[in-house]
């Protein structure tokens, strides 16, 4: 009796088992919803369903003589090595310093948007954040008005600022480097932009709460640094939601550190600070936030051509990856302009965003009963 075939099968079975065990034990990267989504994007639902039906009923091969377009070996390699053979960025992104930014996915590209014009996030050290800077009052060119009172009733919108210190070089005397464009003065930082937006939405009948927490101060008090910002802002958002059950729109307002030619658009003779939507993909329900960002982006471009730089999807390799957006299916992160934009340009963009957002809000409310 020839035992060789049995031995051969048994031997290779053990080898296969050891290989699988080795792969599992050495695969140390935690799986995230974003990674699973990226891998599943390789195969469309329709193709997969047809393939399953074909294995059971050969009738479904009729008219689909082309080969199965997906390689199991490629999918397995992408899963275990986190490398896609057809995408050179996956080979270089973790080896070259700074190259991981190109792992960001541009879902919708606005005018002038490509991998060379993605938002730049500056990470100033605490000593830079704590330094007081003189304001260029003459560049504000705006009267100080009392905020519009929040109308009685629901307050469904929360505006907050994870990086409240982000400011603008034209409004700070003597500041010439983006990393130094920081201030705790709400007249010249991103909190002031959030205040304008809250006022604009309240004027349009959308009850809006504006959190003005000085994040620099809170980080310093708790012996935290820049990279703990989202942990801190998450607590702020959770506390706001606990005291206001009506909150469902969470809008985190930032500013980019890119140059002015990237962050500015002239429309009908008026200069605007461009907007950019960032969606974190490292949580299971991010698609709902992505859909809202895409709808707002589309509506903005229709009425204000060129004002939106587009929509980005980011994971943990390129940033926080969640941005508190798992707390609501109506959470947004919006970059308003860049470090070189003027206050008047920001005012114009606030009005444009408030115009489009309020139209979207009331349209959704009319259709669904709730926005």
pLDDT tens by residue, 67-98? 555 555 555 555 555 555 555 555 555 555 55
Q: Where are the alpha helices (DSSP H) in the chain?
A: 4-26, 33-40, 45-56, 72-81, 89-92, 126-130, 190-203, 215-221, 229-243, 260-263, 286-303, 343-368
The reply to whether 106 falls in a domain is no
pLDDT value of residue 153 = 78
Residues 50, 150 within the same domain:
no
* CB-CB contact of 151 with 207 (8 Å): yes
CB-based burial label for 272 (10 Å; 0-12, 13-18, 19+): buried
In this predicted structure, the answer to whether residue 28 has a pLDDT above a threshold of 50 is no
Structurally, how many domains does the chain consist of? Answer: 2
Residues 71, 169 within the same domain:
no
Residues 278, 347 within the same domain:
yes
pLDDT value of residue 357 = 98
pLDDT value of residue 176 = 87
Which CATH number belongs to the domain containing residue 325 in this structure? Answer: 3.40.630
Mean pLDDT of 221-234: 92
pTM: 0.74
Residues 287, 140 within the same domain:
yes
The reply to whether 216 falls in a domain is yes
pLDDT tens by residue, 123-154? 666 666 667 665 665 566 554 556 666 666 78
The reply to whether 3 falls in a domain is no
Residues 29, 133 within the same domain:
no
Domain that holds residue 29: 8-87
Query: Please, what is the average pLDDT of the chain?
Result: 80
Residues 274, 178 within the same domain:
yes
Closest CA to 126 of 192, 190, 182: 182
Closest CA to 129 of 48, 220, 46, 206: 220
The reply to whether 108 falls in a domain is no
Residues 195, 330 within the same domain:
yes
Percent of the chain with pLDDT over 70: 63
* CB-CB contact of 339 with 181 (8 Å): yes
């Amino acid at each position: 009796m020839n035992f060789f075939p049995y031995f051969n099968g048994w031997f290779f079975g053990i080898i296969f088992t050891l290989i699988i065990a080795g792969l599992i034990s050495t695969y140390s990267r935690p799986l995230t919803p974003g990674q699973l989504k990226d891998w599943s994007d390789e195969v469309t639902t329709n193709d997969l369903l047809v393939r399953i039906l074909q294995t059971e009923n050969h009738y479904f091969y009729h008219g689909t003589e082309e080969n199965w377009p997906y390689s199991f070996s490629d999918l397995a390699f992408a899963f275990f090595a986190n490398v896609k053979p057809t995408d050179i960025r996956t080979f270089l992104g973790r080896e070259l310093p700074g190259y991981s930014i190109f792992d960001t996915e541009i879902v919708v590209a606005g005018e002038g948007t490509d991998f060379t014009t993605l938002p730049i996030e500056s990470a100033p050290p605490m000593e830079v954040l704590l330094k007081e800077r003189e304001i260029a009052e003459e560049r504000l060119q705006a009267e100080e008005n009392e905020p519009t009172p929040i109308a009685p009733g629901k307050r469904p919108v929360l505006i907050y600022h994870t990086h409240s210190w982000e400011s603008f070089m034209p409004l700070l005397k003597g500041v010439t480097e983006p990393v130094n464009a920081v201030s705790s003065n709400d007249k010249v930082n991103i909190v002031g932009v959030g205040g304008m937006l809250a006022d604009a939405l309240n004027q349009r009948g959308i009850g809006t709460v504006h959190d003005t927490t000085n994040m620099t101060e809170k980080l310093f008090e708790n012996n935290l640094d820049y990279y703990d910002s989202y942990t801190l802002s998450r607590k702020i958002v959770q506390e706001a939601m606990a005291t206001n059950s009506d909150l469902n729109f969470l809008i985190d307002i930032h500013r980019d550190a890119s140059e002015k030619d990237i962050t500015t658009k002239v429309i009908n003779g008026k200069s605007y600070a461009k907007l950019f939507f960032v969606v974190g993909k490292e949580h299971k329900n991010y698609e709902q936030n992505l859909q809202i960002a895409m709808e707002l982006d589309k509506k903005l471009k229709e009425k204000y051509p060129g004002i939106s730089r587009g929509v980005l999807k980011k994971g943990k390799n390129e940033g926080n990856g969640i941005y508190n957006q798992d707390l609501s299916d109506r959470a947004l992160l919006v970059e308003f302009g860049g470090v070189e934009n003027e206050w008047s340009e920001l005012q114009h963009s606030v009005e444009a965003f408030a115009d489009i957002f309020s139209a979207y809000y009331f349209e959704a409310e009319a259709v669904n009963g709730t926005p």
